[in-house]
Amino acid sequence: SQKIEQNSEALNIQEGKTATLTCNYTNYSPAYLQWYRQDPGRGPVFLLLIRENEKEKRKERLKVTFDTTLKQSLFHITASQPADSATYLCALDVNNDMRFGAGTRLTVKP
């Protein structure tokens, strides 16, 4: 069956460290993958998109990698801040629409 797995429900790190979140998928061949941020009680907010022919994408303190052989994307936040605390969702295109993983709740402690 098709699965999108974000293998940590929760991740706690110290301010200033790099947070690394993982998204694995099975039985999909997505043309691209997206990462969103969701704060409690709010809608997801787009962060980054990476296409299947791109290995890495950066935006300010954010970096995403996409390995179609491993069927995995890694999402990094460098120099993390307490304001980065949120749930981060990966999303894949499935039949031309986005499907989300369950998310990883990141807490950055001061």
Residues that bind other proteins (CB under 8 A): 31-32, 34, 38, 41-46, 49, 51, 89, 93-103
Q: Choose between 74 and 94: whose C-beta lies nearer to other proteins.
A: 94
CA 86 to CA 104: how far, in whole Å?
8
CA 66 to CA 91: how far, in whole Å?
12
Rounded least distance, CB 75 to other proteins, Å: 15
Q: Choose between 17 and 59: whose C-beta lies nearer to other proteins.
A: 59
* Number of Cβ atoms within 10 Å of the Cβ of 59: 11
Rounded least distance, CB 49 to other proteins, Å: 5
- Is residue 98 within 8 A of residue 34, CB to CB? The reply is yes
Rounded least distance, CB 102 to other proteins, Å: 4
